[in-house]
Amino acid sequence: MSLTGKTALITGASRGIGHAILLGLAAMGATVVGTATSDKGTKLITDALAAKVYAGGAVVMDVRDDNSVAAALAAVEEGYGAPAIVVNNAGITADNLFLRMKMEEWQSVLDANLTALYRVTKPCLRAMLKAHWGRIINISSVVGISGNPGQANYCASKAGVIGFSKSLAQEVASRNITVNVVAPGFIGTDMTNVLSEEQQTQLKKSIPMQRVGTPEEIAAVVCFLASPGASYITGETIQVNGGMYMQ
Ligand code: NAP
């Protein structure tokens, strides 16, 4: 299961699911580079890596900004080598009923959750194609499959992640590059902590396992998809949701 010698890029690794993925891939021997939107976030990443004596570092990247992504990717390549593993994890919500949804709320969510995959993945592909090895793992959501009232923008972006991944998987499979999706359910992070206690209780009732998932439970599946053991899996979406939604 070792990833020694591979560089892994994880967007949005300062906290939550991305942070757990960062530590999970590092534990498997990868040199990990996590991104955050601020110096405060990159410090959280480098401190966590230093505490465990893991190889890697952090860069500032705003996935909505072409120039920021380009500068960050250049720094990653120079400092750690071209990523062989890319985890597109950074994501945001801006919930509203569709009739009340402002264009800004629609646009910002589509930009951060979906268009970011274009910005980050495309420049990273060249080195993977050359190396005849690559792992691209994109984080969607259960609601990208089921839909959810109040989240038309978020659900559209997360459904788009799945369609994108299936298409790219078919384009690059012959070069030994896999493209897969992990679709988490309700996971305990800052993103879900903003929900009221009542909303959280209601949500838990809809989960057969009757609890929220942990970031580590998502990271475990990402780590598997990055590992040599998953070499024949591509274009797949793995749901990790405690039974909340079953296809
Ligand atoms: P989170 O705790 O809110 O963390 C979000 C991460 O994304 C942070 O590292 C943040 O960086 C980064 N980020 C936000 N906007 C960014 C931008 N414009 N450019 C670059 N990075 C940005 O979220 P999470 O719950 O861990 O979610 C991670 C992924 O899982 C997201 O794609 C989310 O949609 C998906 N997901 C989450 C759940 C859940 O229940 N939590 C369920 C399904 C899917 P800063 O710290 O610098 O702000």
Ligand 1 center to residue 45 CA distance, Å? 14
pLDDT, tens only, 92-137 = 999 999 999 999 999 999 999 999 999 999 999 999 999 999 999 9
Side-chain-facing half-sphere of 169: CA atoms under 13 Å:
20
Radius of gyration of the chain (CA): 17
Is the C-beta atom of 57 inside 6 A of ligand 1?
Answer: no
- The two beta strands, 177-184 and 85-88, are unpaired
pLDDT (tens digit per residue) in 67-77:
999 999 999 99
The response to whether residue 45 sits with its C-beta less than 6 Å from ligand 1 reads no
- Whether 41 contacts 118, CB under 8 Å: no
**Residues annotated as catalytic (active site), given as ranges:** 154
| E runs forming strands in 70-227 | 85-88, 134-139, 177-184
CA 184 to ligand 1 center in whole angstroms = 12
Return the closest-CA partner of residue 139 out of 35, 22, 234, 218. Answer: 218
Please give the model's pTM, rounded to 2 decimal places.
Answer: 0.98
Which residues pair with residue 240 across a beta bridge?
A: 184
pLDDT band at 1 (very low <50, low <70, confident <90, very high): low
* Pocket perturbation via mutation, ligand 1, pick of 44, 89, 148 by most ligand atoms within 8 A of CB: 89
Mean pLDDT of 147-158: 98
| Locus of tokens 């009340």 | 100
Phi, psi for 96 (deg, rounded to 5): -170, 150
106-110, 147-151, 157-161, 200-204: range with lowest mean pLDDT: 200-204
Residue-wise pLDDT for 170-204, tens only, equals: 999 999 999 999 999 999 999 999 999 999 999 99
CA of 47 to the centre of ligand 1 (A): 19
The response to whether residue 134 sits with its C-beta less than 6 Å from ligand 1 reads no
Nearest CA, atom 48, ligand 1: 37
64 lines ligand 1 (CB under 6 A): yes
Q: Which atom of ligand 1 is nearest to the CA of 64?
A: 18
Q: Determine the average pLDDT of the residues in 133-154.
A: 98
Residue 198, number of CB atoms within 10 A of its CB = 8
At 237, give phi and psi (nearest 5°): -115, 120
pLDDT of residue 115: 98
Cβ atoms of 161 and 144 within 8 Å: the answer is yes
State the average pLDDT over residues 150-166. 99
CB of 138 closer than 6 angstroms to any ligand 1 atom: no
Residue 54: which residues within 8 A CB-CB, separation 6 or more? 23, 26, 27, 32
pLDDT of residue 247: 87
Q: What is the pLDDT of residues 15-49, one digit of tens each?
A: 999 999 999 999 999 999 999 999 999 999 999 99
Q: Is 178 in the pocket of ligand 1 (CB under 6 A)?
A: no
- Bridge partners of 87, per DSSP, are 10, 137
Question: What spacing in Å lies between the alpha carbon of 139 and ligand 1's midpoint?
Answer: 10
- How buried is residue 236: exposed, middle or buried, by Cβ count under 10 Å (0-12/13-18/19+)? middle
88 lines ligand 1 (CB under 6 A): no
pLDDT tens digits for range 197-245: 999 999 999 999 999 999 999 999 999 999 999 999 999 999 999 999 9
